Amino acid sequence: MTMEAGSVTETLEDKQTSGTGDASKDGANKQPNPNQNPKDAKPAPERKRARNLSEDRRFKLFSGTANRPLSEEIGRHIGVPVGEVKLQRFADGEVYFQLLENVRGVDVFVVQPTCYPVDQNLMELLVMIDALKRASAARITAVVPYYGYARQDRKDRPRVAISAKLIADLLTTAGAHRALFVDLHAAQIQGFFNIPVDHMFASPVLVSHFRSLALPNLTVVSPDAGGVERARHFAQKMGAPLAIVDKRRTDINVAEVMNVVGDVAGKTALIIDDIIDTAGTLVKTVDALYANGAAAVYACASHAVLSGPAVERIANSRIEQVVVTNTIPLREAAQKLPKIKVLSIAGLLGAAIESIHMETSVSTLFS
């Protein structure tokens, strides 16, 4: 059902949470007994979360338009449908958002990657969080599978913005109480937030896939010095040696590969990265590895941004396969390219969301 702006309705759930609904069960409407000793007074019973999220009225999942299929898949994993909303845009592109469900006192999770179009999807997320805050949600968790502006996390040149910090401030100001991210470009971005942050990794899904392939003489490769820690962790999980490609970036989205540090001759090289954007770095890394004697080259990344000529570059390269996750919906051209394989992280995100709601350890998902 879609509600027109300005209309006022009262749902069954609204009635249950007002008057003699949940408030009366918790003793919120009871008048104190003047003859009762305060020491003998019993505290109001605490609302307990249901063990099954599908039965928990204090939990709801909402989605923006950036990656609705991922949100729905997460909902299927945890047994909860995506909440009903009205999300439209005015003729000039201004976003209009309205909740069509009661969220008063509810633990809410809103899923929205800030992928292309980045600014539009970011603004949509901020408006959704603001609406949830004003609707009296008890806690709002921003689930951002892909964190846009993460590459601008420091002043690497004079007079540039630290945009990753700005986005953190915007999410907090909008009303998010905590955040859940997948493979941040730099782990220290967590420190930009003054709210709790859970940092997930897609590596369990990716490692499982490449273990099933049983690639011979495997060597894990970091495409630059900044990704060494990520590649080292992956290499440990795969029981494989590590190599590093020395890369010199000459401009935005322009990179020049210099040389390979490590032995890749006769080996199957697996490039590990967090983001594939224009694929310029990727194809130059592939060429450098083959030039150093690699027998075959594969690649994997958490976020398939794949902007500009990325798909064409991958199609024309000598790479065997590029494995990515569905944090970002693939463009149609990428979906048609056999070299690109997509793995789902919906189960991993669903488990993390359930752990956050139940207040259990998220880190156990990676142990």
Give the residue numbers annotated as catalytic, written as ranges.
247
Pairing, β 242-251 against β 254-261:
antiparallel
| N-terminal to C-terminal alpha carbon distance within the chain | 43
Separation CA 211–CA 237 (nearest Å): 9
Separation CA 272–CA 6 (nearest Å): 50
Q: Which residues pair with 220 in a beta bridge?
A: 242, 270
Classify each residue of 316-333 as buried b or exposed e, where b means 16 or more C-beta atoms within 10 Å of its C-beta.
ebebbbbbbbbbbbbbee
Separation CA 18–CA 22 (nearest Å): 7
Tokens 């210099």 locate to: 258
Pairing, β 321-325 against β 254-261:
unpaired
36: tokens are 């009762």
Tally Cβ neighbours within 10 Å of residue 31: 5
Helix (H, G, I), strand (E, B), or coil: what is residue 133? helix
Rounded to 5°, the CA angle 214-234-296 comes to: 45
Pairing, β 85-89 against β 95-99:
antiparallel
For residue 354, the one-letter residue type is E
Separation CA 320–CA 297 (nearest Å): 6
Tally Cβ neighbours within 10 Å of residue 11: 12
Q: Which residues pair with 270 in a beta bridge?
A: 220, 298
100: tokens are 């069509």
Give Cα separations from 154 to 63, 163, 165, 171, 281 (angstroms).
30, 8, 9, 19, 21
Q: Judge contact between 204 and 365, C-beta under 8 A.
A: yes
Helix (H, G, I), strand (E, B), or coil: what is residue 282? helix
For residue 152, the one-letter residue type is Q
